[in-house]
Amino acid sequence: MNFLLDENFPKSAEELLHGSGHKVIDIRGTDQQGADDFQLFEIAQQHEAILLTTDRDFYHTVPLNYSSHAGVIVIALKQPNREAVLARLRWIISQDLINSLQNTVILLRDNTYRIRRN
């Protein structure tokens, strides 16, 4: 499975995802760095990648603007830090929810999650 890391997502997620057998795309350090939300989402779709972000806007805008997409995981915590974000990512991997994210946006909070499917 392919994942695209938003620039606001911990870079250390790459190692975690690689360890689970996934491919990770990170635009930091490339000419695409600094892309706006629309461009970032388009890059993810070009690579058929699930977008990993901490930006809550994607939870609301993607289902309204795209009928078909590879999926989005938004991790929005009250006190976000690298370890807390990675802990939620580990949790979603362990729940096997990432294997069925086509046309789905998941919002993970501290103790809950919401799923929106197109």
pLDDT of residue 88: 96
Give the mean pLDDT per block of 10 residues along the chain (118 residues). 96 95 94 93 97 96 93 96 96 86 96 93
pLDDT of residue 96: 80
75: exposed, middle or buried (C-beta count within 10 Å: 0-12, 13-18, 19+)? Answer: buried
Count Cβ atoms below 10 Å from residue 99 Cβ, excluding itself: 9
CA–CA distance, 32 with 27 (Å, rounded to integer):
6
Sequence-distant (6+) residues with CB within 8 A of 93 are 16, 20
Question: What pTM was computed for the model?
Answer: 0.94
Provide the 3-class DSSP secondary structure of residue 12. coil
How high is the pLDDT of residue 115?
A: 94
pLDDT confidence of residue 41: 96
